[in-house]
A and B are shown apart, each in its own frame.
Chain A
Amino acid sequence: MKTHYDVAIIGAGPAGSIAAMKLLKEGKSVLVLEKMIFPRFVIGESMLPHIMDYLKDLDLLDVMETQKYQVKDGVSFYDGEKKCQFLFNNQVNKDYWKYTWQVKRADFDSVLIQEAQKRGADVLFEAAVTAVETTEKKQTVHFEHPTMGNQTVTSDFLLDASGYGRVLPRLKDLEAPSSALPRGAVFTHIKDINRTTDAGKNILIHVFRDNTAWFWSIPFADGSCSVGIVSDVDYIKDCAADDAKEFKRLLNELPELEGRFSNVELLFPPKHILSYSISVKQLYGEGYALCGNATEFLDPTFSSGVLFAVVSGYKAAEMVAKQLNGEKVDWESDYSNYMKQGINVFRTYVDGWYDGRLGTIFFAKERNEEIMKQICSVLAGYVWDDSNPFVKKHDKVVTSLAKVIQINEGKQVTYS
Chain B
Amino acid sequence: MKTDTKIYDFVIIGSGIGGLVSALILAKNNYSVCVLEKNQQLGGALQTFSRNKRIFDTGVHYIGGLDKGENLYQLFNYLELLDELKLKRLDDAYDVIRLANGKILKIGQGYDNYRNLLLNDFPEEKEAIDQFIHKIQETCTYFPLYNIQLEAEKAYYSYPEILAVSTAEFIDSITSNNDLKAAFLGNGLLYAYDKARTPLYVVALILNSYIKGSYRIENGGSQLTKALVKKIRHYKGDLFKRKEVIGTSTAADGKITTVKCADGTVYSAHNFISNLHPSKTMEVIGEKHFMPATIHRVGALKNTIASFVVNIALKEDEIPYSNHNFYDFFTDDAWNTVDYNMESWPHLLFSCTPPSSKSTQFADSFSSMTYLKVDEFERWKSTQNTIVHPKSRGDEYMAFKEFLEQKMVSRIIERFPELEDKIECVYSSSPLTFRDYLGNKEGEMYGIEKDFNNPIKTIINPKTKIPNLYLTGQNIIFHGILGATIGAFVTSFNFVDSNRIINSIKSL
**Neighbour of A37 across the interface among B160, B493, B498, CB < 8 A:** B160
With a 10 A CB-CB cut-off, give which of A1, A40, A149 has the most chain B CB atoms.
A149
The contact string, 1 if C-beta is below 8 Å from chain A, for chain B 153-177, is 0000111110110000000000000
- Which chain B residue shows the least CB distance to A1? B151
> Within residues 143 to 165 of chain A, which ones have a CB less than 8 A from any CB in chain B?
144-151
**23 CB-based A-B contacts, threshold 8 Å:** A36-B456, A37-B456, A37-B459, A38-B456, A39-B160, A39-B164, A114-B161, A124-B157, A124-B158, A125-B157, A125-B160, A126-B157, A145-B157, A146-B461, A146-B463, A146-B476, A147-B144, A147-B145, A147-B157, A147-B477, A148-B157, A149-B499, A150-B498
State in angstroms the CA–CA spacing of A363 and B163 once bound together: 49
Q: Residue B346 at the A interface, CB < 8 A?
A: no
Asked if A140 CB lies within 8 Å of chain B CBs, one says no
Quick one: closest A residue to B158, CB to CB?
A123
Contact partner of B498 among A38, A123, A148, CB < 8 A? A148
Least Cβ distance of B194 to chain A in Å?
Answer: 20
- Which residues of chain B come closer than 8 Å to A124, judged between CB atoms? 157-158
Given the complex, which residues of B lie within 8 Å of A37, measured CB to CB?
157, 160, 163, 455-456, 459
Name the distance in Å between A109's Cβ and chain B's nearest Cβ: 12
The residues of A with any CB-CB pair to B shorter than 8 Å are 1, 36-40, 110, 114, 117, 122-127, 144-151
Q: 0/1 per residue, B199-213, Cβ < 8 Å to A?
A: 000000000000000
Report how far A229 CA is from B465 CA in the complex, Å: 29
Specify which chain A residues have a CB less than 8 angstroms from the CB of B497 in the assembled complex.
Answer: 149-150
Q: Is the CB of B158 within 8 A of A146?
A: no
> Which of B160, B163, B164 has its CB near the most chain A CB atoms (within 10 A)?
B160
* B388 close to A (CB within 8 Å): no
CB of B425 closer than 8 Å to a CB of A: no
Chain B residues near A146 (CB-CB < 8 A): 461-463, 476-477, 490
CB–CB B150/A148 < 8 A: yes
Contact present for A147 and B490 (CB under 8 Å) = yes
Q: Which of B88-139 contact A (CB under 8 A)?
A: none
Instruction: Give, as a whole number of angstroms, the nearest-CB distance from B51 to chain A.
Output: 41
Least distance between A261 CB and chain B CB atoms (Å): 24
Are B456 and A40 within 8 A (Cβ)?
Answer: yes
User: Distance (Å) between the CB of A34 and the closest chain B CB?
Assistant: 9
Which chain A positions have C-beta within 8 A of B144? Answer: 147-148
**Bound Cα distance A37, B156 (Å):** 9
Q: A1-B151, A37-B455, A37-B456 are in contact. Are A150 and B159 (CB under 8 A)?
A: no
- Using an 8 Å CB-CB cutoff, how does the interface string of B235-255 with A read, 1 for contact, 0 for none? 000000000000000000000
What chain A residues lie within 8 Å of B158 (beta carbons)?
A: 117, 122-125
Contacts of A125 in B (CB 8 A): 157-158, 160
Residues of A within 8 A of B159 (CB): 117
Contacts of B459 in A (CB 8 A): 37, 126
* Contact (A38, B490) CB under 8 Å given A146-B462, A150-B498: no
- Is there contact, CB below 8 Å, between A39 and B490? no
Contacts of A148 in B (CB 8 A): 144, 150-151, 157, 493, 498
Q: Which residues of chain B are within 8 angstroms of A145 by Cβ–Cβ distance? A: 157
User: A123 to B463, alpha carbons, bound, how many Å?
Assistant: 22
Other CB < 8 Å A-B pairs besides A37-B456, A114-B161, 18 of them? A37-B160, A37-B459, A38-B456, A39-B456, A110-B161, A125-B157, A126-B157, A127-B157, A146-B476, A146-B490, A147-B144, A147-B150, A148-B151, A149-B150, A149-B493, A149-B497, A150-B493, A150-B497
The 0/1 profile, CB within 8 Å of A marked 1, for residues 295-312 of chain B is: 000000000000000000
Chain B, residue nearest A125 (CB): B157
In the assembled complex, the Cα of A150 lies from the Cα of B495 at a distance in Å of 9
Contact A38 B145, CB 8 Å, known A146-B462, A149-B497, A150-B497: no
A38 B160 Cβ-Cβ under 8 A: yes
CA distance A122 to B158 in the complex (A): 8
A39: B residues at CB distance < 8 A:
160, 164, 456
Inside 8 A of B493's CB, which chain A residues have their CB? 147-150
Give the interface centre of A39, A40, A148 by most chain B CB atoms within 10 Å: A148
Query: How distant is A210 from chain B, measured CB to nearest CB, in Å?
Result: 31
Query: What residues of A have a CB within 8 angstroms of the CB of B150 in the complex?
Result: 147-149
Most chain B Cβ neighbours within 10 Å, of A145, A147, A151: A147
Closest to A145 in B: B157
Q: Return chain A residues, CB-CB under 8 Å to B163.
A: 37
Complex formed: what's the CA distance from A117 to B157 in Å?
12
Q: Nearest Cβ in chain A — how far from B21, in angstroms?
A: 15
Task: Quote the shortest CB–CB distance from B54 to chain A (angstroms).
Answer: 40
By Cβ-Cβ distance, the 3 closest A-B pairs, closest first, are A149-B498, A149-B493, A125-B157
